[in-house]
Structure 1
C-alpha cells in the first residue's frame, strides 16, 4: 500500500507515493547527514546522477523517519532530520528535487527499494554500526584546543615555492585551526559542513556567512585534496581524527577539555 502526498513546493507539484514503512531496529544515532561511500556504492550506484547533497539528505530523511515510525509524509520526513542537526528546509528541497528527478526517469520504485535494502543492512549490522549520535554530542561546539593546534602544526612548513620567483605563504593561524576543526568534525560525524557550529550564518547581517566561515568554504577543497602546504597538515589531522574517534567511541569523553565555539548573538 502507498501513501499519496504532495511535495508542498510550488516548483515540484507531482504526487509522491510513499511506501508504507516497516519497523526497524537501528536508531537515530546510527543515521548521519552524509553516508559512508560503501553504503552509497552498494545501494545507490544507480543514482549517481543525482546531486550528492540532495541524495544524502533524502536518504537521511527516509532512514530517520523509519526509526521514528508512523506514516511518512513530506512534512514529517523533513522534520525527522532535526535530531541529526540538519535543516528542515534544505531537506524539504532535497526530497522534492530527488522525487522530481526520479519521477522523470521512472526510477522512484527502485530508489524506494534501495532505501529499504539499506535499512535492512543497518538492521542486520546494528551492533557493529558507528554511534554518530554520540560523536555529534561530543563535538557539538568543539574546536581543536590551542595547545593541540600548536602540537599539530609544530614544524610544518609555512612557505612553498611554486615557481622560480613565486612563493606561497600559509601561516598556521586561527583561521586554519577552525578549518581543521570543521574538517575533523565533518569526518568524525559524517556531517554536512553547512551544519557545523563554526559555519552558522549571522542572522544579524541578513544571514551572511561570517568571515571565518567564508575562509573555511574557500579553503575546504585545498585541504581535502591535500594541495601544496596542506599535504603535511592533512596527514597529521588524519591521525588526530583517528584518536578523537577512538576516544569518543570508547566512551572516554568525561571531563574532556574542549575549546567551545562562541554562540551566535
Structure 2
C-alpha cells in the first residue's frame, strides 16, 4: 500500500497514548474530523467506520500506511495499540481480532472494553505547550478492564461523562467504532462525543462536556488504607501487564495470573455474598455488592423460570472502576499465594455453590483452558460420599475430555507417575492395592468427564457393579478422611488436567465395542507361538483364549479380569480361575526366554489391532507383519503403556 503524501503538522505520540487518542489530537490540530484523518492514514475505506479492532493491533498494511502518513516508526505505530500488553495479558490473544467479538465475548472474557475509562487529570496534560493546546494522552491501557486506577494521580479512573452520565465512546447499535461520532469537526480531544436527544421534535446535539474539567469521583470516599490496598493491587497488575521477561512455562503466577484472577472474580460475583469474607472492609464490600447484586438477581430470576432474564452480566466487566478494583482485590485475596492445599477449601466452597445455582456458567468459568492447573484441581469436588449413595453426583462434567477417552484400567505409566506413591500407605491391602487404585482412578476420571455417579461411570467402562462397589467400599475404608485421601484426590486431578490437554486421545469406548465379540484366531495363536520352545504343554498354556484375553486388555487398556472372554465363560457357569491366572502371568515382571518373546509378539500384534480399531479397517492382523516388526519395535512394553 502506497501513501501519496503524509499528514501536515503531525504530532508525536505521547507515552502510552492510544490510536484513537492520537487521531483525536491530530484531527483537532488540523481542523479535520477524526474520520478524515483516519482516511488519510488509510485506516478506513471510503464511507466505512474506523474498525475498532485496530485498537488491538494494526495489520501490516495499515501499520505501514499510518507510519508513512503520520511520520511514525513501525514501533511507534504498533505501540498505539494494545499489542504491547499481549504477552502479559492472555485475554487479548485469546480473542479473535474482529469487530463482532470486540463488542461481544471479547468484553465478557475481559479482553478489552469498547468504551474507555479515563483520568481527568491525565487528560488535562502535564502543562507543556503541546498538551496545553491539544490535551494529554488517552492511554491505551484504559481500554483494559483490569486497569481501574491512575497510579500517577492516585485515583480511580472514570467511566461516565459527568454531564450526560453515559459511557465514553460506548457502543452504538452493537457496532463499535474506534471513535464515536468520528465525522464531527472541532471537538477538543477531551470533549464527550455522546449524542443527546433534546426532546420530541427538537433534534439532537453532541454532549461536548470537557472531561478534563470535572474532578470526577476520585477516591470514592474510601479510607486511605483501602485506597492504598487497591493502588498496590493496580501496581502489581501493571507490572504483570508489561513483564520484562517472557512468561515461563510451568510458572502459574506468570502464565495464569490473569486467567485465574478473572475466573475467581466471576466466581465471587456468581456466589455473592459468599466471597464477602475476602474483602477487607465494609466500604469495599459495598462496591462489590453494587455490581454483584445485579448478577445474583438475574441468576435467581432464571432459576425461578424467568426465561427473559439476561445472564450476559454474569461474566461482564464492571464499568465502574472502583467496583472493578474491589472485585479484583477480593479475587486476589481469595487466591492468596495460589498454593493448592490452602486454596482448595476456599475455592471449593464457592465452586460448590456456583455449580448448585448456575451450573452452566460455573462450568464455563472454572473449566477454561487458560486457568492454571492449580485452580482447576482446587475446584474439583471430592470423590467420596456415602458408599451406598449410588445417585450422588459429582461436579459438572469437564469438557476437555470425553468419557469415551477414558481407559477402564489406568495405564501403568499414568499409575507410576501419579498414584504409586500412595501404595506404602495402603500396605494392608497387599497386592490388591495396585489393582484397586488403577480401577478407582479410571472410574473417577469417568465421573469427571460426565458428572455422573460412581456406579454409572463404572458401568460405562465395562466394570461390573460388584467390582465397582467393592472398590468404593475398600478405598473409603482405607482412605477415610485422612490426608491420604487428599493425596489421592490431588493425583486424580493431576491426571485429569494432563489427560485433558493431551493431543490425539484414544477412543477407548470404540475399541471396547470393536473387540466385544472378537477372539484371537487359533491359527494366529499357533503362529505367534511358533519357534518358541519350553512354553509349556498344559491346557491353559496352549489355550488361544489366553491370547484373546491379553490382547483385549492391551488394546482397550482394560482389566484382563473383565475381558469379554472371561465374562462369557463365567456367565456360562464355567470355572475361569486357571484361565485368568494364565492371562495374568503375561504381566509378570520376571518373564524371560520364550515367554518374554511371546509377550513381545503379542504386544506388537496388539499395536496393529489397535490401529485397525481406530481406523475401522477391519480386525484382521497379519502375523507375517508381526514377525517383520519383532526385530524393529523395542521390547519390554506396549506403546499404550500397557496394563
Cα-to-partner distance string for 1:121-173 (whole Å, 9 max, x where unaligned): 11111x3222212211111122111232232233332x47xxxxxxxx42798
Change (3 A) 1:218 1:46: closer
Distance 2:481 2:398 in 1: 30
Q: Tell me which of 180, 183, 193 is aligned to 2:550.
A: 183
What is the correspondence of 1:183-262 to structure 2 with a 5 Å cutoff? 183-200=550-567, 202-203=570-571, 205=573, 210-211=574-575, 213-225=576-588, 226=591, 229-253=594-618, 256=619
Q: Tell me which of 385, 400, 410 is aligned to 1:25.
A: 400
Structure with larger RCO (C-alpha < 8 A, sep 6+)? 1
1:32–1:132 contact (8 Å) kept in structure 2: yes
Higher Cα radius of gyration: 2
Distance 1:218 1:228 in 2: 20
> Which structure's residues are more often strand, by fraction?
1
What is residue 388 of structure 2 aligned with on the other side? 8
Cα-to-partner distance string for 1:168-224 (whole Å, 9 max, x where unaligned): x4279895211111111111111111211221254564xxxx25x333223235433
Using the size of structure 1 for normalisation, the TM-score is 0.73
2:547–2:602 contact (8 Å) kept in structure 1: yes
Change (3 A) 1:181 1:107: same
Q: Tell me which of 431, 434, 452 is aligned to 1:52.
A: 434
- 2:534 paired with 1:152: no
Q: Tell me which of 471, 476, 487 is aligned to 1:94.
A: 471
- 2:491 paired with 1:131: no
Using the size of structure 2 for normalisation, the TM-score is 0.33
Change (3 A) 1:66 1:171: same
Distance 1:229 1:105 in 2: 46
SS at match of 1:78: helix
Distance 2:532 2:443 in 1: 41
- 2:414 paired with 1:39: yes
Distance 1:230 1:176 in 2: 14
> What is the total number of aligned residue pairs between the two structures?
229
What is residue 12 of structure 1 aligned with on the other side? none
CA RMSD of aligned residues (A): 3.0
For structure 1, the 5+ residue unaligned runs are: 10-16, 71-75, 161-168, 259-265
1:170–1:229 contact (8 Å) kept in structure 2: no
Distance 2:604 2:509 in 1: 22
For structure 2, the 5+ residue unaligned runs are: 1-348, 353-381, 427-432, 622-643
Change (3 A) 1:62 1:119: same
SS at match of 1:81: helix
Shift of 1:55: 0.8
